[in-house]
A and B are shown apart, each in its own frame.
Chain A
């Protein structure tokens, strides 16, 4: 029984780490611009697909294609902000949500045209020899996912709390006009925020794709799960989003293992609803409208 539970926990944390990275992307954009970006899952797909496309066949070597893919995705994020979100400044929340949903459908369409409907695989970073912990097993790639996620989360935390640039982005979210008055280039900060979440999405895609495979529509489910995780943790609280992601991964895995695999998604959503019922601002969200 203990071995089983250990396996469920390991599985849950790996899956949860992916959700956490997507949820973190949601939080950053929401903090900087009050926009819920439903194209976040597509960033994950773009990162993975462009890396695979660039290194396919006689393409460039993998270690080069990965950073390039991340750059491509950051470019997509910046273009999204510049040409879809920025022109609609001052629009209501619903309008911007519709814009990002539209953007996600558009990105999926572009991926479909470029790469077709096939499923793609990516090589594991350091082999596929499972690591045994008691009777439970873990792939080296799972460690990459967990480690990569931890590293990125700490990095984001440091960026927002200890760099002028990070603090400037936060300033824009607190009070746009005041930020502009003290000389912060608000437009630029928005671009950086979108670039940063696209970066996180692309990294998540590259880290998990060796385990999960990818296809043009792989971002839909990840976007939804990341969104749920962000709500669970408290929307707009980056560390809450991370906790929400890992919690959601754990709930799903334990529910599948201990209760019923058919109802694991339902159990995840029931817990989400219960949390929202008792704590409308999420587990780690503050009741006031203060963010971060």
Chain B
């Protein structure tokens, strides 16, 4: 007991001295974050944390924002919504952060939303689900495109090609199921009829049975909403069965890994993806190009291959800091209002134009329709 008392006193006095020593400098701006740095969703949280740390270091070196340094307080939620709630509480009550940028998974974000609402703390989420912004929640914003937008982008492209009958095949994972629901809901709006709705298990190794059924329908194209090995196997099976229909994949497979796995079978596959994937192929007139290349080069110089997920953290951090700059303070209500007023912010995910009714602020233009040709991406005009 005594030792602890002494330690507490010592620490307290040390902190006081430190605070006194820094008295002339303003208190740092506190950015809070909870991310899935480890666990199954670490492919999201890991690049997100690296991005936040990298840019906060850079901005601090340049003197910070509104004359104040930035301090990142981050916790690893391992992708668990329960842990996220605990960490969000700690960020709000104990660390007293000014704004939260985090929430790698939709589950974590949705679990934390009621909390930030009660605490009246601005929260920029890095997760995908459309439920985060629809209906709009006063204190929550989000950066990544939604699966509904991916489906809409695909249907738009199909319409241009005169395709009206589509066979849907999707996996059993959360991403897959949500994509399937959005695809079914949006189909009518684009005048598209879903003639077949098949599914497969997350770890299934052969989808020829489902695709044989699809082959005998009058579908004009196949849409596969999936994640992991499933889409690569579907792509290979489609070619094996000699099905000649155009094959669409979702943004869930927007990585070089997919081309590597599916090999020659991937030729001609179309999918919507973030512009970051094809940054160097964009025309020079594209306003996003310099932002994308700068982020890509900076990240790759330090950590290796860039991913769209780290890009969301870049967008979230910069939107939050610009809002603080415009607000001229860290007053939470003012910062929230300024985030909502974000217009024409050029990020890695697209050009953000937020409004009280749209807390994402991206249009379908943010997605590029890509086609795989000769083992590489090409942009479909």
- Which A residues form the contact surface with B (CB < 8 A)? 4, 7-8, 10-12, 14-15, 18, 117-119, 121, 128, 130, 132, 136-137, 139, 208, 211-213, 215, 218, 220-221, 253-254, 256-257, 261-262, 264-265
Contact = CB atoms under 8 A, between A and B. Distances in A.
B205 A208 contact: yes
Nearest to B211: A7
Contact of B206 (A128, A211, A215): A211
B303 to A, nearest CB: 14
B199 interface: yes
Given A11-B206, A18-B205, A211-B206, A119 B257 contact: yes
Contacts of B228: 119
B240 A130 contact: yes
B77 to A, nearest CB: 18
A36 B241 CA distance: 38
A256 to B, nearest CB: 4
Nearest to B213: A257
18 contacts: A4-B213, A7-B209, A8-B209, A18-B205, A117-B42, A118-B257, A119-B228, A119-B232, A121-B232, A130-B242, A137-B240, A212-B233, A215-B229, A254-B209, A256-B210, A257-B210, A257-B213, A261-B200
Contacts of B241: 7, 130, 137
A205 B42 CA distance: 27
Nearest to A212: B205
Contacts of B242: 130, 132, 137
Given A117-B43, A221-B203, A7 B260 contact: no
Contacts of B257: 118-119
Nearest to B198: A261
Interface string B188-225: 00000000001111010110111011001000000000
B264 A212 contact: no
B261 interface: yes
B344 interface: no
Contacts of A256: 200, 209-210
B264 A128 contact: yes
Contact of A253 (B201, B203, B209, B263): B209
A213 B235 CA distance: 13
B114 to A, nearest CB: 32
A261 B172 CA distance: 11
Closest 9 CB pairs of A and B: A212-B205, A221-B203, A257-B209, A256-B209, A7-B212, A11-B208, A262-B199, A261-B198, A261-B210
Given A15-B206, A119-B261, A211-B205, 10 more contacts: A7-B212, A11-B208, A119-B228, A121-B232, A121-B261, A128-B263, A137-B242, A211-B206, A213-B233, A257-B213
On chain B, which size bracket covers the interface? 20 to 34
Given A220-B203, A261-B199, A262-B199, A119 B229 contact: yes
B183 to A, nearest CB: 15
B210 A212 contact: no
Interface string B228-245: 110011001000111000
B261 A261 contact: no
Interface in B138-177: 172
B206 A8 contact: no
Contacts of B198: 261
A14 B205 CA distance: 10
Nearest to A139: B240
A15 B212 contact: no
Contacts of A265: 201
Given A119-B228, A130-B242, A4 B212 contact: yes
A213 B261 contact: yes
Interface string B357-374: 000000000000000000
Contacts of A220: 203
A264 B228 CA distance: 20
Interface string B313-347: 00000000000000000000000000000000000
A171 to B, nearest CB: 37
The CB with the most chain A CB atoms within 10 A, among B203, B209, B260, is that of B209
A138 to B, nearest CB: 8
A212 B212 contact: no
A161 B205 CA distance: 34
A130 B241 CA distance: 8
